[in-house]
Chain A
Amino acid sequence: MIEISDLEIKHSDIHLMKVENLIIKEKGLYLITGANGIGKTSFLRSLAEHINTCDKNKYSNKVSFMSAMAEYNNQIPLSGHDYLSLYIDKSQFEVIKKHSVLSALLIKKISHLSAGEFQSLTLAAQIYSNSKVLLLDEPFSHLSSHWIHIFISELIALAHSKLIIIVSHQSIDELSKASEVFEIIDKKLIKRENLK
């Protein structure tokens, strides 16, 4: 269990919200939703710092964070393969090569990829990394419904062995049904079943 109490969420020194008491299981799938600008990304970033430092033996260097796409520097002339090798072990490439579309991206230059292609590569980098905790900020942006379905299936399967927390403004039934859903409303994090 990861216990969070009195975690203050700020963005550029502006107070957004305070998470007073939250318990997260070590494995499972969580979905955080809420309106734009309400503090979902800031919450996820604070959570990353908190988990990374709360139990150094268990989580240090084992937390990975997927930023919203605009934050990546994809202008460096790397192939998809070189890019993925920064995140994952060699053995994981065998799994990736089984996906024909992902496999085709390995030989392309990342600066030549479309937004959707780059997003799938980045999401694959997180999914196949050896991190124990995956914090994914808007991971399905720019992806086609076909790819969203594939990745959600992977994430649901992965949630048996890892903790996955997804921030998304998209409403995806398949994901909502498999996750514990929280929504940020009025500067509070509220569990979906408690929403009235």
Chain B
Amino acid sequence: MIFELLTQKYFIYFFLQVLLFLIIALPIGYLLIYNQLGLFSDSLSHSLIPGLAGASFLFGLESHTLFWGALAWGIFISLVFSSLSGLNNKTKDSLMITLSLFGVSLGLVMNQFLSLQIDFTHLLFGAPFLSTQNDMLSSLGLSIFLLFAILFFWKPLLLFTIDPLFSKLKYGSFKLSFIFTLITTLIIVSGFQVFGVLLTTGLMILPNIAFPFENKKLSTRFILIIIITITIALISFLLSYQINTTFSATFIALLSLITLAKLYHQLIYRKSQ
């Protein structure tokens, strides 16, 4: 029975999408963590909600309108967030939280006021097993584009993380901040329909914290994390099927638990030193 489940088309499409998403999301998630911007992707994803509501109001509640709405609003949000690059960390953090909360609440208000009937459960948890071959192809296209963008800008983005002042003088503060924010936004846009806001952010950040592999080369590290995360996704799938729960929520709960256990172990280890 398990074999039958795992050989279903929807299951194979979904796991290919997880794989594609992890390949582009893990390196950027890694840089977000080292820039102490772990919650940044969360803020970005929440800020996209008014864009989705606007697109749905103007062009109807269709999968492709939501995508284009998120994309257009995402570019606008990237410009707004990049313009914060000159601010100090405290002000930047406060503004990001405010914009994130404003995004969620404005989206909800628009949804109710304009009777848009956007399903917020879908936005939060996605529809992982409703992926079609077309979804796969558009995901593949965007993922390949983002992969090239990440490879092309990898050195400047890494320098931005290691030595912000040097990179600011070499590449310009706004330019680099915008590229970083835009790539992060596009990754979220590429993932939110399938994985939902929670799983998109979760897949970018949690595996990087839970499985640090600090002594490995970055490329080896990402490959190992992908293998482990795919395994956890598989376990979560079987578990959610068994106990009849939403897959995304089960997956994120499991990943979060592993991450918490890792952080707790790290804390105990430091105290014993």
Contacts and interface: CB of A to CB of B under 8 A. Distances in A.
B215 A61 contact: no
B211 to A, nearest CB: 13
Nearest to A137: B165
Contacts of A66: 166
For B161, B166, B215, the residue with the greatest tally of chain A CB atoms inside 10 Å of its CB is: B166
A86 B158 contact: yes
Contacts of B171: 61
B221 interface: yes
Contacts of B158: 76, 78, 86
B127 to A, nearest CB: 36
A63 interface: yes
Contact of B214 (A45, A64, A77): A77
Contacts of A87: 159, 166
B221 A48 contact: no
Contact of A48 (B169, B214, B216, B218): B169
B265 interface: no
A113 B138 CA distance: 45
B169 A76 contact: no
A76 B163 contact: no
B64 interface: no
Interface string B160-177: 011101100111100000
Interface stretch (A26-34, A67-75, A99-107, A145-153): A67-75
Interface residues of B, number: 20
Interface string A70-92: 01111111100001011100000
A73 B34 contact: yes
For B34, B88, B169, B218, the residue with the greatest tally of chain A CB atoms inside 10 Å of its CB is: B169
Interface residues on chain A, size class: 20 to 34
A76 B162 CA distance: 8
B166 A65 contact: yes
A77 B217 contact: yes
B270 interface: no
A109 B218 CA distance: 12
A48 B158 CA distance: 21
B155 interface: yes
A111 interface: yes
Contacts of B163: 67, 71-73, 86
B162 A72 contact: yes
B34 A76 contact: yes
Given A86-B155, A111-B214, A73 B161 contact: yes
Interface string B135-171: 0000000000000000000010011011101100111
Contacts of A85: 155
A52 interface: yes
A85 B165 CA distance: 17
Interface in B164-210: 165-166, 169-172
Interface string A161-191: 0000000000000000000000000000000
Nearest to A112: B215
27 contacts: A48-B169, A52-B169, A61-B169, A61-B172, A64-B169, A64-B170, A65-B165, A65-B169, A66-B166, A67-B163, A67-B165, A67-B166, A71-B165, A72-B162, A72-B163, A73-B161, A73-B163, A76-B158, A76-B162, A76-B218, A77-B214, A77-B216, A78-B218, A85-B155, A86-B158, A87-B159, A109-B215
Interface of A: 12, 45, 48, 52, 61, 63-67, 71-78, 83, 85-87, 109, 111
Given A76-B162, A77-B217, 18 more contacts: A48-B165, A48-B169, A52-B169, A61-B171, A61-B172, A63-B169, A64-B169, A67-B166, A72-B163, A73-B162, A75-B214, A76-B158, A76-B218, A77-B214, A78-B162, A85-B155, A86-B155, A111-B214
